[in-house]
Amino acid sequence: MASLFSKYEGLAGSLGAVVAAGGRNPFAVVIEKPLSSTVGVIEGRETLLFGTNNYLGLSQSVRAIKAAQAAAEACGVGTTGSRIANGTQSLHRQLERKIADFFHRRDAMVFSTGYQANLGMISALAGKDDYLLLDADSHASIYDGSRLSAAQVIRFRHNDPDDLYKRIKRLDAPDAAKLVVVEGIYSMTGNVAPVAEFAAVKKETGAYLLVDEAHSFGVLGEHGRGSAEAEGVEADVDFIVGTFSKSLGTVGGYCVSDHPELELVRLNCRPYMFTASLPPEVIAATAAALEEMQEHPELRAQLMDNAARLHAGFVRLGLNASQRVSPVIAVTLETVEQAIPMWNRLLELGVYVNLSLPPATPDSRPLLRCSVMATHTAAQIDQALEIFRQAAEDCNVPLSAKETAA
């Protein structure tokens, strides 16, 4: 009889090779104790955290911790129900109002995770007779949302508004509803979407536009409303989706929109309806973190300064870093055989980053993906850079990668 696990044989082989090449499983790292937003204990050693997406450091916000404690005292630790049944408390509606007000939108829906926000919105919005147009480098939650929807799904080339336009025209379906989905900042590479150009295509073709600001919320724009604010095209974006688990340091997802039908989407959105709502302490901590983010715009300025410092350092070392400076900085290596030892060496020397291997990377090369925080000190960034230099030397990774790649 066939084994359910025979399809895992290839994965077992790949994982075995990764562990054998480096001595540990990079996908099972345990942070034994977070000491601050920037330092955690891993394998008994104090380690600089450069791979946690905690852009503003708010996972350790004292104000958010106190709000969570008070909410748990007052309301308990869980709702034990779905948003459309017993899972909506006053706190949930208050947070939705706060998020909607922050974005100057009519209403907001709060989901239990950012993944579910994309899954839910995309599958609920795009039906059988509709077209979904996805950036080729979209996050898994966007692809999974497209699979849960009954829509016809077309990919366009990454960050290429002309290609989107061409593919919409090729459909030759002027009367069909179309939803275009892009991300503000792409999570693996740190690439920033040309949202204004996408908005222009949307207007010309009569499509709807959804922007996932998961990694750009709290990061881009004068007020931290993301890439659409930064490019001055918020009015052309129909739906903004995002997460609380990056800049706000908690967990949960949201969608904001001016479309009044959002109220009806709540009743046609499986990832919203068929799961428990966020517990009171998370809702309260998120609201407190949002207030803190709004009161401290200097965190955003510091974050960008830190990103520029790390990026400039990588360029100086001769590592192949992302072109654009953003809080996600990916160092591209040429081969998996280089990337695995180097990632392990970085961890041994005291820096944690994310190891991203193909096919989870956009082109077939591996990435050492770094995320910067507003709370990193200049000394921590310089120390991380020195450790990158040392690790590259120890692992025979050529510096001045751009020359060797040519």
Partner 1 sequence: MSETVEGVSALIIQKLLSNPKVPRDINGDCKIMEDLAFDSLAVMNFVMEVEDSLDVSVPLDKLADIRTINDLAACIVDLKSKG
Contacts with partner 1, 314-353, as mask; x by CB under 8 A: ----------------------------------------
Q: Closest Cα partner for 71 from 251, 279, 289?
A: 279
CB of 153 to partner 1, least distance (A): 4
Q: Which two tokens stand for residue 242?
A: 């995002």
Residue 17 contacts partner 1 per CB under 8 A? no
CB of 169 to partner 1, least distance (A): 10
Hey, what amino acid is at 339?
A
Q: Which stretch binds partner 1 (CB under 8 A): 52-60, 146-154, 200-208, 298-306?
A: 146-154
Residue from 77, 136, 235, 315 that binds partner 1 (CB under 8 A)?
A: 136
Query: Which contiguous run of DSSP H or E holds residue 348?
Result: helix 336-349
- Other beta carbons less than 10 A from residue 216's beta carbon: 32
Residue 128 contacts partner 1 per CB under 8 A? no
75 burial via Cβ count (<10 Å: 0-12, 13-18, 19+):
middle
- Other beta carbons less than 10 A from residue 367's beta carbon: 27
Q: How many Å apart are CA 29 and CA 41, to the nearest integer? A: 11
CB of 210 to partner 1, least distance (A): 17
Q: How many Å apart are CA 99 and CA 289, to the nearest integer? A: 12
CB of 339 to partner 1, least distance (A): 17
Residue from 153, 177, 251, 312 that binds partner 1 (CB under 8 A)?
A: 153
- Other beta carbons less than 10 A from residue 403's beta carbon: 9
Q: How many Å apart are CA 336 and CA 393, to the nearest integer? A: 16
CB of 213 to partner 1, least distance (A): 24
Comparing CB distances to partner 1, the nearer of 166 and 203 is: 166
CB of 192 to partner 1, least distance (A): 22
Residue 7 contacts partner 1 per CB under 8 A? no
Q: Which stretch binds partner 1 (CB under 8 A): 23-31, 147-155, 196-204, 287-295?
A: 147-155
Residue 155 contacts partner 1 per CB under 8 A? yes
Residue from 148, 154, 200, 251 that binds partner 1 (CB under 8 A)?
A: 154
Residue from 16, 76, 297, 358 that binds partner 1 (CB under 8 A)?
A: 358
Three-class SS of residue 12?
Answer: helix
Three-class SS of residue 273?
Answer: helix
Q: Which stretch binds partner 1 (CB under 8 A): 86-94, 169-177, 212-220, 337-345?
A: 169-177
Q: How many Å apart are CA 323 and CA 91, to the nearest integer? A: 42
Rg over alpha carbons for the chain, rounded to the nearest Å, is 22
Q: How many Å apart are CA 136 and CA 122, to the nearest integer? A: 16
Residue 13 contacts partner 1 per CB under 8 A? no
Residues that bind partner 1 (CB under 8 A): 136, 146-147, 152-155, 157, 167, 170-172, 358-359, 364
